[in-house]
Chain A
Amino acid sequence: MALIELQEVSKLYGFGDATVLALDEVILSVDKGEFVAVMGPSGSGKTTLMNVIGLLDRPTHGSYLLDGRNVARRRPNQQAKVRRDRIGFVFQSYNLLARLSVLENVALPLAYKGMTPVRRQKRASDILELVGLRDREYFMPRQLSGGQAQRVAIARALINKPSIIIADEPTGNLDSTDSKVVMELLADIHRQGNTILLVTHNPELTRYANRVIYMHDGMIVGDEQTAIGNMAKGARRTHFQRRKVTDDEIVEGVSALMRDVPGKELASKPKKKAKRGRPRTKKRPVGRPAGHRLKAGSRQRREKAKKR
């Protein structure tokens, strides 16, 4: 049985003419021990997907089975407990609590579990040892470098021995050296049998993954198995990287940057873009099944959302 099983999961934001389809009937299953890299242009729904899997957000349609149990419609408190016990988050912006020491930050999930202070501090110390920050236990988050802060965040994500670690652009704010340290750490964690979902814009980082998922317009448009150590084939396609700004565009200024805004692109040439977006890699059966079950009304709504 798959660890994560998404069945036609859709997520709509807003309503009426302003409806955005952030996830479009996504079907995905992830097995225990996989290291999945998620790639895709800005606004393609990667973060939304992670939030749904991490139970931070509820899907509008579809079901989400975690270890065979549907968790998408659980009560907020039950979802909080699932997050606490089974999911570890690593955010781009670290999200450490500024007023707590490094040790307290790492130990916090255990506090919510009701563990005694002595025991949880001991555990937190051990985990900090693992990420090489034992000597920073009593530092405050603001006294840490970006790389160190992210390692603390990883320690916090690990402390409850979660089934899944979700890292949404964990290296987004880091330089290449710090990125490497953080990624090596995640690789270590993966080698110990953990399941990791990593959102990234950097094709280099797909070397750490054994599977790469490509997203576009809220759909999974590509799914590729790769060997660890090799860069995924699809990842090389420039479309999934952040665009390098050319000198000409710097001169052009803001109007050039606007080209990157997906909404605008969609509005002008939706057809063409969809074609470009599809990487020619070996695909798993993804996207919309032949006879999909959305009613006509919601279908129209989606079309509207795309045109916007």
Chain B
Amino acid sequence: MWSGNFKTAIGNLRANKGRSMLTMMGIIIGVSSVVTVVSLGEGLKHQVTGQINQLGSNVITIRSGKLVGNGSGIGGLNLLAFLSTSTLTDQDVQAITKLSSVNSVVPIDFVGSSAGSDKRQLDNIFVVGTSSKMADLLHQKVAYGSFFESDDSTNKVVIGSSIAEELLDELNPVGHSVKISGATFVVQGVLAPSSGGLLSVAQTDFNSAVFMPLKNARSLTNGRTNILQILAKSNGDELDIAVNDISTALQKTHGGQTDFTVLKQYELLGIAGNIVNTITRFISGIAAISLLVGGIGIMDIMLVSVSERTREIGIRKAIGATNRQILNQFLIEGLALTLGGGVIGVIASLIINGVLRVYTSLQPAITLQIFIIAVGVSVAVGITFSVTPALKAARKNPIDALRNE
């Protein structure tokens, strides 16, 4: 009975191909946008977990400025700290280095700059002044050459992968010279590509940054001595102890003031993950509205279809169809319509995903779960919005239906 009904339903939808397609459009758009948005969010979350796994759970970030609240929510990014002068200094680095619960300490300072080679010029890059231990601490892989070994002034730099690509298109850029803020440096190493943007360790894109010892970086910035942030790594599982020790030590060097923030790196990433989650939910909520609109479209067309086919309903009832059987027929038709829309929507979202992967740096992650939910939701929409038309069909009085022309 069901398979027969399904066949009839498909036949009826085929007979009105143009109309069926237009009706499905709402569902197609709804499903494909929900799937795309959710898979984008899912992809971002994967990147976050990837970062946490890569870093290990014992990295601590120290930033200038006091975080409002307890560090959760959007305050975790503390963008204001980048705008005002940092209160962190070399003394702080030294104080943290002395702590027994801390394994290694790395200062990080950014300087906006430009870079050039004999071929090209890049504005808007970051020079990161740091220490030789940075690559180790962040588990940052070096693709070519090596990271610098000493914190003394040198004319050697390490560059990010994008800079290497854009500035020097040689296969191996190691040994080539680059000009940074007018001074000439030799490339000693190229970092392996890392995920950038919101999720990167220091909220900056390592791929388009140049790394050099802190002293060098300072000489580019007419002698600024403060440090934007400090990264530290605790000994083994002494993370909480280390966080406490650092806070106490810094309070001392800052004269009792708490004008800094000590954060566990994985918490920071967790916060980023939460933000991604919230945004994903919000946008997919908006996308889901088009599913609702699609559902209403289906109801509309089904109602038209029912009154067009009144006579057919009359004939079916005359030869013995029960109300339930007529109801099923129209429910299945609505279901076929939305299921079709759902499947086409999923296919469309696969194409969109492919395009996004190829043409942007986004890494959407489609999971089977997303598919099942998308198709499940479209089925639910189909049934919900077909009930009214199907009931209307089922309740028709056979003789009135038969008289209908």
Q: Which residues of A contact B (CB under 8 A)?
A: 51, 54, 56-57, 76-77, 80-81, 83-85, 89, 91, 95-97, 99-100, 108-109, 111-114, 117, 156, 160
Whether the pair A108, B316 counts as a contact (CB closer than 8 A) is yes
Q: How far, in angstroms, from A83 to B323 measured CA to CA in the complex?
A: 13
Given contacts A85-B320, A112-B321, 15 further A-B contacts (CB under 8 A): A56-B399, A76-B322, A80-B320, A80-B321, A83-B320, A84-B319, A95-B402, A97-B315, A97-B316, A109-B319, A112-B319, A112-B325, A114-B1, A117-B3, A117-B4
Within the complex, what minimum Cβ distance (angstroms) separates B168 from chain A?
A: 69
* Chain B 312-335 per-residue mask, 1 if CB under 8 angstroms from chain A, else 0: 100111111111110000000000
Which of A51, A81, A99, A108 is the one whose CB lies under 8 Å from B322?
A: A81
Q: How far, in angstroms, from A65 to B312 measured CA to CA in the complex?
A: 29
Q: Chain B contact residues (Cβ within 8 angstroms of A): what range?
A: 20 to 34
Decide yes or no whether B12 CB sits under 8 A from chain A. yes
Decide yes or no whether B398 CB sits under 8 A from chain A. yes
Q: Which residues of A contact B323 (CB under 8 A)?
A: 76-77, 80
Decide yes or no whether B83 CB sits under 8 A from chain A. no
Which of A51, A99, A160 is the one whose CB lies under 8 Å from B320?
A: A160
Within the complex, what minimum Cβ distance (angstroms) separates B333 from chain A?
A: 12
Q: How far, in angstroms, from A279 to B321 measured CA to CA in the complex?
A: 40
Q: What is the total of A-B residue contacts with beta carbons within 8 Å?
A: 64
Within the complex, what minimum Cβ distance (angstroms) separates B300 from chain A?
A: 22
Q: How far, in angstroms, from A77 to B11 measured CA to CA in the complex?
A: 26
* Chain B 392-405 per-residue mask, 1 if CB under 8 angstroms from chain A, else 0: 00000011001000
Q: How far, in angstroms, from A73 to B3 measured CA to CA in the complex?
A: 33
CB nearest neighbor in B for A99: B11
Within the complex, what minimum Cβ distance (angstroms) separates A106 from chain B?
A: 10
Whether the pair A56, B318 counts as a contact (CB closer than 8 A) is yes
Whether the pair A56, B319 counts as a contact (CB closer than 8 A) is no
**Can you report 9 A-B residue pairs in the complex whose CB atoms are below 8 A from each other?**
A51-B399, A56-B318, A80-B320, A91-B402, A95-B311, A96-B315, A99-B12, A108-B316, A117-B4
Decide yes or no whether B358 CB sits under 8 A from chain A. no
Whether the pair B320, A56 counts as a contact (CB closer than 8 A) is no
Within the complex, what minimum Cβ distance (angstroms) separates A19 from chain B?
A: 18
Q: How far, in angstroms, from A100 to B15 measured CA to CA in the complex?
A: 12
CB nearest neighbor in A for B311: A95
Given contact pairs A95-B402, A117-B4, A77 touches B324 in the complex (Cβ within 8 A): yes
Given contact pairs A51-B399, A56-B402, A113 touches B11 in the complex (Cβ within 8 A): no
Q: Which residues of A contact B15 (CB under 8 A)?
A: 99
Whether the pair A97, B312 counts as a contact (CB closer than 8 A) is yes
Q: How far, in angstroms, from A89 to B4 measured CA to CA in the complex?
A: 23
Q: Which residues of B contact A76 (CB under 8 A)?
A: 322-323
Chain B, 1-47, CB within 8 A of any chain A CB: 1, 3-4, 8, 11-12, 15
Q: How far, in angstroms, from A111 to B322 measured CA to CA in the complex?
A: 12
Within the complex, what minimum Cβ distance (angstroms) separates B164 from chain A?
A: 65
Whether the pair B324, A108 counts as a contact (CB closer than 8 A) is no
Q: How far, in angstroms, from A89 to B322 measured CA to CA in the complex?
A: 16
Within the complex, what minimum Cβ distance (angstroms) separates B144 from chain A?
A: 68
Which of A77, A85, A95 is the one whose CB lies under 8 Å from B315?
A: A95
Q: Which residues of B contact A97 (CB under 8 A)?
A: 312, 315-316
Given contact pairs A97-B315, A99-B15, A111-B4, A80 touches B399 in the complex (Cβ within 8 A): no
Q: How far, in angstroms, from A186 to B351 measured CA to CA in the complex?
A: 61
* Chain B 377-399 per-residue mask, 1 if CB under 8 angstroms from chain A, else 0: 00000000000000000000011
Given contact pairs A56-B402, A99-B12, A77 touches B322 in the complex (Cβ within 8 A): yes
Q: Which residues of A contact B315 (CB under 8 A)?
A: 95-97
Q: How far, in angstroms, from A99 to B315 measured CA to CA in the complex?
A: 13
Whether the pair B12, A83 counts as a contact (CB closer than 8 A) is no
Most buried by A among B8, B318, B319: B319
The 3 closest A-B pairs by CB, nearest first: A84-B320, A80-B322, A57-B399
Whether the pair B4, A95 counts as a contact (CB closer than 8 A) is no
Most buried by B among A76, A91, A96: A76
Q: Which residues of B contact A117 (CB under 8 A)?
A: 3-4
Whether the pair B322, A95 counts as a contact (CB closer than 8 A) is no
CB nearest neighbor in A for B315: A95
Whether the pair A95, B321 counts as a contact (CB closer than 8 A) is no
Within the complex, what minimum Cβ distance (angstroms) separates A85 from chain B?
A: 7
Within the complex, what minimum Cβ distance (angstroms) separates B332 from chain A?
A: 13
Q: Which residues of B contact A81 (CB under 8 A)?
A: 320, 322
Within the complex, what minimum Cβ distance (angstroms) separates A74 from chain B?
A: 12
Chain B, 280-321, CB within 8 A of any chain A CB: 311-312, 315-321
Q: How far, in angstroms, from A99 to B15 measured CA to CA in the complex?
A: 9
Q: How far, in angstroms, from A89 to B311 measured CA to CA in the complex?
A: 15
CB nearest neighbor in B for A77: B322
Whether the pair B319, A156 counts as a contact (CB closer than 8 A) is yes
Given contact pairs A95-B402, A99-B12, A113 touches B318 in the complex (Cβ within 8 A): no
Most buried by A among B12, B15, B311, B398: B398
Within the complex, what minimum Cβ distance (angstroms) separates A12 from chain B?
A: 14
Most buried by A among B12, B318, B325: B318
Given contact pairs A97-B312, A99-B11, A99-B12, A108 touches B319 in the complex (Cβ within 8 A): yes
CB nearest neighbor in A for B15: A99
